[in-house]
């Protein structure tokens, strides 16, 4: 398994976007993958949420890191979260 490294930007966005490193790693390892801009990949994984985010109740949280896969590591460029 390749090492997963978070850029400074990605690390700063974790809490701001309502997720954590463990969820991002799980999304990378088990989520669906699709091509993204600049030869990158976006991984998507839905988590049961059943909680409030910014004052609104949601049942699902989707964690979607954008990654750049290299020979020896996976670099997390940024992270998106979607609540629904």
Q: Could you tell me the strand order of the sheet in which 73-83 lies?
A: 3-6, 73-83, 56-69, 40-53, 32-36
**Which structural domains are found in the chain, ordered by start?**
3-83 (3.30.2310)
- Residue 78 DSSP code: E
pLDDT at 47: 98
Q: What is the pLDDT of residues 54-84, one digit of tens each?
A: 999 999 999 999 999 999 999 999 999 999 9
pTM above 0.85, yes or no: yes
**Region 18-35: what's the mean pLDDT?**
98
pLDDT at 1: 81
């Amino acid at each position: 398994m390749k090492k997963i490294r978070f850029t400074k930007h990605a690390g700063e966005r974790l809490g701001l976007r309502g997720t954590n490193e463990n969820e991002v790693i799980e999304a990378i390892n088990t989520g669906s993958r699709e091509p993204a801009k600049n030869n990158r990949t976006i991984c998507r994984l839905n988590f049961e949420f059943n909680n409030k985010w910014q004052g609104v109740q949601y049942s699902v949280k989707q964690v979607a890191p954008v990654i750049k896969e290299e020979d020896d590591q996976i670099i997390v460029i940024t992270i998106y979260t979607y609540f629904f």
